[in-house]
Amino acid sequence: MNQWDNLLASLSVTHLPWLVLTMAVYLATMALYKRYKCHPMLIPVFPSVIIIVCVLLATDTPYATYKQGVEWLSILIGPATVALAIPLYAQRARIYALWRPICVALSIGCVVALFSAMGIAWALGGSWETIISLAPKSATIPIALPMSERFGGLPSLAAVAVAVTGISGCMMAPLLLRLIGSKDPAVEGFAQGLTSHAIGTARAIQINPTAGAFAALAMGLNGVLTALLMPLSVAVFQRL
pTM of the predicted model, to two decimals? 0.81
Helices (H) and strands (E) in the chain, counts: 14, 0
Please, are residues 112 and 230 in contact by the beta-carbon 8 Å criterion?
Answer: no
Alpha-helical regions (H) of the chain? 3-13, 16-35, 45-58, 63-69, 71-75, 77-83, 85-90, 92-97, 99-123, 128-134, 141-150, 155-179, 185-207, 209-238
- pLDDT for 174 beyond 90: no
Q: What is the DSSP letter of 126?
A: -
Q: Mean pLDDT highest for which of 9-13, 83-87, 104-108, 163-167?
A: 104-108
What ranges do the domains of the chain cover? 3-75, 82-238
Average pLDDT, the chain: 86
What pLDDT shows up at residue 109? 94
What pLDDT shows up at residue 13? 52
Span 189-204, pLDDT tens digits: 999 999 998 888 888 8
What pLDDT shows up at residue 14? 60
Alpha-helical regions (H) of 84-154? 85-90, 92-97, 99-123, 128-134, 141-150
Instruction: Provide the 3-class DSSP secondary structure of residue 14.
Output: coil
- pLDDT for 9 beyond 60: no
Q: What is the DSSP letter of 180?
A: T
